[in-house]
Amino acid sequence: MKKILVIGQDGMLGGELYERLSNNKEYDVYKTTIETLDICNKQDVINEVKKINPYYIINCAAYTNVDGCETNFDLANSVNGIALENIAEATNLVDATLIQISTDYVFDGKLDISEEYTEDMPANPVSAYGKTKYLGEQNAMKANKYYILRTAWLYGLRGKNFVKTMLKLSETKDEISVVNDQHGSPTSTTSLCEIIEQILEKEPKYGIYHSTNEGFTVWSDFTKKIFEFANVSTKVIPITSKQYKEMYPNSSDRPANSKLLKNKLHSVGIYPKNWEDALKEYLKEELK
Ligand SMILES: NC(=O)c1ccc[n+]([C@@H]2O[C@H](COP(=O)([O-])OP(=O)(O)OC[C@H]3O[C@@H](n4cnc5c(N)ncnc54)[C@H](OP(=O)(O)O)[C@@H]3O)[C@@H](O)[C@H]2O)c1
């Protein structure tokens, strides 16, 4: 039985992943939460990893408030960036394989909208969050054996996320303004768990893999789909990023194009669901 350590089990992805892997008889699954392990404490990380001696270490812990990263850069950088050096070192000490979850926000989004980012295109984050996660990628690569899975626009049953926010707002608003010029792939935690499970099974070549649901949209059309599937009548007013920034001057800049090409994932036999199908599945559970 392969031992797996899920770091960040108290998070939206970590909680679902831990539960799914625990139900798989092939794995002996361990967890840490922010209460039991601060990933910024190197010695604690090393002690915990040595104690468990896992085959895989999956890091789902992160500082994920994108706007908050702008004002709390040092903390965000410690958690998303520097801490990965601790985890990579601990990974090597027990000869484990590290799986680090990263983001589409490592790119600047300036790529022509007709094109998609491949794994080997140069990163150039524009936001504080993107910068900290990119440092995390560079540190994760210090592990001798690693997978970096870049995901995007993540939502799931266990955490605060865009879908829940829109549904909540729709309870009190007749119309909602949503950005229409940032392109990407909404991704359910369930779909990302399925990708991770296949990575664990197939053990493809180490490296970076773009790991989102299939297909692309913009936030305003994503919202329209959420409302359509949830039978909500609130109107979506598409606005530009510039208009949004005028309304919320302290908000972080986000890439206009964060379309991630998944050919590399396909080449190892992993085919994620379309984002609309994943959303429909999620809403079936969320609205029960
Ligand atoms: N959410 C998205 O839209 C999105 C998009 C792209 C990529 N990602 C990436 O996907 C992964 C999972 O995201 P998620 O949305 O599931 O995150 P999440 O729900 O915010 O969970 C992250 C967890 O990490 C914990 N944490 C924070 N600082 C820590 C520390 N020093 N030591 C240990 N744990 C710590 C958090 O605890 P507290 O809550 O108590 O701080 C939280 O429980 C992350 O790597 C994230 O960067 C997310």
Could you tell me the CATH number of the domain that includes residue 28? 3.40.50.720
- Pairing type for strands 217-218 and 183-184 reads antiparallel
Of 129, 134, 155, 244, catalytic: 129
Q: What per-residue confidence (pLDDT) applies to 263?
A: 98
Residue 234 lies in a domain: no
Hey, what's the torsion of the CAs at 131, 135, 136, 140, to 10 degrees? Answer: 150
**Segment 133-159 mean pLDDT:** 98
Q: What per-residue confidence (pLDDT) applies to 282?
A: 98
Residue 283 lies in a domain: no
58 C-beta closer than 6 A to ligand 1: no
For residue range 238-272, list pLDDT tens digits in order. Answer: 999 999 999 999 999 999 999 999 999 999 999 99
Q: What per-residue confidence (pLDDT) applies to 104?
A: 98
Residue 230 lies in a domain: no
Residue 119 lies in a domain: yes
Number of domains in the chain: 1
**Segment 50-70 mean pLDDT:** 98
**Segment 89-104 mean pLDDT:** 98
Q: What per-residue confidence (pLDDT) applies to 50?
A: 98
Instruction: Give the model's confidence band at 200: pLDDT under 50 very low, under 70 low, under 90 confident, else very high.
Output: very high
Alpha-carbon distance of 131 to 105, in angstroms, equals 8
Amino acid present at 102: S
Residue 57 lies in a domain: yes
117 classed as catalytic: no
Residue 251 lies in a domain: no
Q: What per-residue confidence (pLDDT) applies to 71?
A: 96
Residue 225 lies in a domain: no
Nearest protein CA to atom 1 of ligand 1, as residue: 154
**Segment 90-103 mean pLDDT:** 98
Structural domain that includes position 45:
2-161+185-214+258-273
pTM of the model: 0.98
- For residues 145 and 91, the answer to whether their CB atoms sit within 8 Å is yes
Residue 280 lies in a domain: no
Q: What per-residue confidence (pLDDT) applies to 89?
A: 98
Q: Mean pLDDT in the chain?
A: 98
Rounded to the nearest whole angstrom, what is the distance from the C-alpha of residue 112 to the centroid of ligand 1? Answer: 30
